[in-house]
């Protein structure tokens, strides 16, 4: 059992089904509880865990009591929380997503045989469970599955028993529509425009930088040229004069040496002729 559920214990007297009985319920270390029927109904808590046994007496004869029953063990856990799972996070085109709600029961007893004790499920959609998908009075499938075809947040919780006992709500699960190219187009268009504007600004800045740098270089060379023209021209004239002088001297020497070599003189005579020319 879970804390907050309602339980009914029954003390059955074999052969005395039609007799009116007063029954006592015992738990080790606790006070005896007495009822005027064979049934005891109460809401359990975690402190209700333990062994229970009963003994009944005839209402008009307190000396004729039954034997004590065998003890039964009641185990009570904290309030459970529903678990919600899905087979897909996105809705396929024209399809559905299957949601599965489960409750992890730690009880050693099986509740599947009783329709009143088996878990049934309630489904919700939206923020804070704003939309109830199925009516509270409906008979829910025991397998805890539901197919959905709309996006949104989904929740579930289990219920069972009379009066109805509810589990803690599950954590929500989000079902979304698949992202298509058409839905991405506006975002991509905005990003493209922003990138284009940034590139244009960078190109303008680069062009202005190159232009300003080129203007500085032209001004620098013009100032250098205007400041050094006389000295440069004087230097060119000096170099040209030296070149013409050297050319004249070389031609004179060639004409001086050539006749000596052409007349068939030997090397010593050529040297003498050269020295004579030097004189």
pLDDT per position as a tens digit, 93-119: 778 888 999 987 654 344 444 445 688
Is pLDDT above 50 for 211? Answer: yes
Query: For residues 22 and 250, which has the higher predicted lDDT (pLDDT)?
Result: 22
pLDDT for res 245: 53
> What pLDDT band is residue 185 in, cutting at 50, 70 and 90?
low
What letter would DSSP give residue 277?
H
pLDDT for res 182: 52
Cα-based torsion angle of the residue sequence 252, 256, 258, 261 in order, rounded to the nearest 10 degrees: -160
> How many CB atoms within 10 Å of residue 129?
18
Is pLDDT above 70 for 128? Answer: yes
Cα separation of 54 and 76, whole Å? 19
pLDDT for res 138: 45
> What pLDDT band is residue 253 in, cutting at 50, 70 and 90?
very low
Cα separation of 106 and 75, whole Å? 9
Average pLDDT over every residue of 139-160: 81
Give residue limits of the domains in the chain: 6-74, 83-175, 180-218, 246-279
> What pLDDT band is residue 147 in, cutting at 50, 70 and 90?
confident
- What CATH architecture applies to the domain 6-74? Sandwich (2.60)
Q: Residue 258 burial by CB count (10 A; 0-12/13-18/19+): exposed, middle or buried?
A: exposed
Query: For residues 8 and 224, which has the higher predicted lDDT (pLDDT)?
Result: 8
Cα separation of 266 and 156, whole Å? 128
Q: Considering the domain 83-175 in this protein, what is its CATH number?
A: 2.60.40.10
The position carrying tokens 């329709």 is 115
Query: CB under 8 Å to 120, separation ≥6 — which residues?
Result: 139, 140, 142, 158, 159, 160
- Global pTM value: 0.53
Cα separation of 187 and 183, whole Å? 8
> What pLDDT band is residue 199 in, cutting at 50, 70 and 90?
very high
Token code pair at residue 67: 């034997």
What are the backbone angles phi and psi of residue 120, rounded to the nearest 5°?
-120, 170
Is pLDDT above 50 for 53? Answer: yes
Each residue of 6-37: pLDDT tens digit?
999 999 888 776 778 888 888 867 778 888 88
Average pLDDT over every residue of 174-196: 77
Between the alpha carbon of residue 138 and those of residues 135, 168, 190, the distances in Å are 5, 19, 50
Cα separation of 246 and 256, whole Å? 15
pLDDT for res 217: 61
Cα separation of 21 and 35, whole Å? 9
Percent of the chain having pLDDT more than 70? Answer: 65
Cα torsion 37, 41, 42, 47: sign: positive
pLDDT for res 108: 38
End-to-end, the C-alpha distance of the chain in Å comes to: 142
pLDDT for res 267: 44
Cα separation of 204 and 210, whole Å? 10
**CATH topology agreement for domains 6-74 and 83-175:** yes
pLDDT for res 207: 87
| H helix or E strand, kind and range, residue 191 | helix 181-227
Cα separation of 23 and 31, whole Å? 14
């Amino acid at each position: 059992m879970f804390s907050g559920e309602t339980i009914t214990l029954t003390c059955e007297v074999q052969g005395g089904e039609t007799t009116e009985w007063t029954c006592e319920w015992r738990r080790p270390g606790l006070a005896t509880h007495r009822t005027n029927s064979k049934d005891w109904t109460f809401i359990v808590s975690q402190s209700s865990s333990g062994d229970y046994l009963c003994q009944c007496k005839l209402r008009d004869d307190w000396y004729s009591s039954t034997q004590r029953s065998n003890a039964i063990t009641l185990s009570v856990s904290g309030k459970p929380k529903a678990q919600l799972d899905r087979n897909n996070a996105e809705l396929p085109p024209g399809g559905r997503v299957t949601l599965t709600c489960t409750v992890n029961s730690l009880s050693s007893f099986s509740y599947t045989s009783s329709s009143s004790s088996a878990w049934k499920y309630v489904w919700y959609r939206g923020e804070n469970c704003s939309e109830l998908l199925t009516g509270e009075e409906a008979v829910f499938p025991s397998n805890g599955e539901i197919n959905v075809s709309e996006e949104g947040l989904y929740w579930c919780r289990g219920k069972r028993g009379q009066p109805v006992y509810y589990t803690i709500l599950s954590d929500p699960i989000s079902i979304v529509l698949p992202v298509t190219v058409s839905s991405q187009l506006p975002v991509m268009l905005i990003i493209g425009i922003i990138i284009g504007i940034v590139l244009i600004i960078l190109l303008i800045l680069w062009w202005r930088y190159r232009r300003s740098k080129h203007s500085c270089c032209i001004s620098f060379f013009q100032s250098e040229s205007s400041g050094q023209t006389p000295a440069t021209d004087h230097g060119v004239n000096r170099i040209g004069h030296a070149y013409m002088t050297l050319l004249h001297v070389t031609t004179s020497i060639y004409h001086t040496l050539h006749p000596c070599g052409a007349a068939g003189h030997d090397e010593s005579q050529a040297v003498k002729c050269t020295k004579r020319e030097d004189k």
